[in-house]
Amino acid sequence: MLTFLGFIMIFIFMILIMNKKLTPLTALVLVPVLIAFVAGFGPDLGKMMKEGVKEIALTGVMLIFAILYFSLMIDTGLFEPLVNAILKAVGDNPVKTTIGTAILTTLVSLDGDGSSTYIIVVAAMLPLYKKQGMNPLVLTCIIMLSGGIMNILPWGGPTARVMSSLKLGHTEIFVPMIPVMLIGLAWVFIVAYILGVKERKRISKHGKYTRYNPQDIVGEVDPAMRRPKLIIVNLILTIILLVVMILDLMPLGIAFMIAFCIASVINYPKLKDQQKIISKHAGNALSVAGMIFGAGIFTGILNGTGIMQAMGNSIINIVPQSWGGYLNVITAVFSVPLTFFLTNDAYYFGILPVITATGHQLGIPPDILGRASLVGQASHLLSPLVPSTYLLVSLAGVEFSDHLKFTLKWAIGSSIVMLLGALALQII
């Protein structure tokens, strides 16, 4: 029953947002509350939602101030040299632009933090997409495909969870996955080329895309807010922030909060200018924060009711015992829906140990199953349970439902390519 409720909940949510009947925020809150209330969990809903919001609170704070910080830096003109350099390299060629997007995302993703990657790449590339009249969904698609592959880095999250859950090191889990990641990135570059060619043909036939959202991160340029003389100071401050983030010297939300306050005072000493910056970008920050806390309520109810654990166990139990010898392949295949419908914590700390215990009885080593469980990460970032996904669509000014429909087939393709690559190289 819990499994049925879980899939009904997610199915209703997906239908509502993909058909644009509700916003992601209202769907994230109302759908699980309604389902849980009907299922008899009404008295405990408050506690469940509170726990879910508490779990996501620091992430929400981080995204609010990350948006404010990088929006301020865009206003000052920090990214203009990078944009001009990329523009000079790609010219007015959509194919070069899409491939450049894949390259830049791959490089920036080396820090392992999806949120900062999204902000930096969108800030650098969206002006080029606007100049060339390209569809911003192409931008969000390529960023998410590249980010999904690079998310497998040990400091990215999923791999660290696998190593922690199975008590294994990076040499057993991550190092063998490097060739598979390279195969996945090759696929991303092929997709980028295909999408670039499609955009070039569409533009030549139907003209440039013009329906951009004025609320995206780039927005309207205000020359009065530019601070070209402070570009070195702003660059140093941003580098220090990235170092703090990579070395994990303090909680990221606190680091962005401090950095934003310092940057505000340095660049805009006048109080009215500081207020102008906050009011200009408050809508973006609030929009993302609302969806993040909505996702906290969604996952809080899934966890509190036991629905998430039941969904994972039920999917495992549908596999016939006679297929046990193929548990490695089954794990890789099912990692795609499991990491999409469950959070990484629920999957890697709740479901993966059950899979490895089964594998132990069948003589399948845990490191093989651990690597197999990472194949689905190529599609994971599309999940409505991933907070940073809402940040990406908000920055680029696209609808979550449009992004999901546009990117899903390419993301599933990434998972299939990585699965075939892992099997061919005998990684899993």
SS (H, E, C) 116-142: HHHHHHHHHHHHHHHHHCCCHHHHHHH
- pLDDT at position 363 is 79
Name the 3-class secondary structure at 166. Answer: helix
Q: Give the pTM.
A: 0.77
Cβ–Cβ under 8 Å, residues 278 and 268:
no
- pLDDT at position 17 is 78
Average pLDDT, the chain: 84
Amino acid in the structure at residue 188: V
293 to 55, 113, 283, 289, 297: CA distances (angstroms): 9, 19, 15, 6, 6
DSSP H/E element including 241: helix 231-247
Low-confidence ranges of the chain (pLDDT < 50): none
Straight-line distance from the first to the last Cα atom of the chain, in angstroms, rounded to the nearest whole number: 33
Domain with 244, as residue range(s), is 1-425
- pLDDT at position 202 is 92
- pLDDT at position 221 is 63
Tens-place pLDDT, residues 55-102: 888 878 887 888 888 888 888 888 778 777 777 777 778 999 999 999
Contact partners, residue 41, CB within 8 Å, separation at least 6: 48, 301, 304, 305
Instruction: Return the ∠ at Cα 246 (arms to 71 and 177), rounded to 5°.
Output: 115
Say how many C-beta atoms besides its own lie within 10 A of residue 233's C-beta: 15
Number of domains in the chain: 1
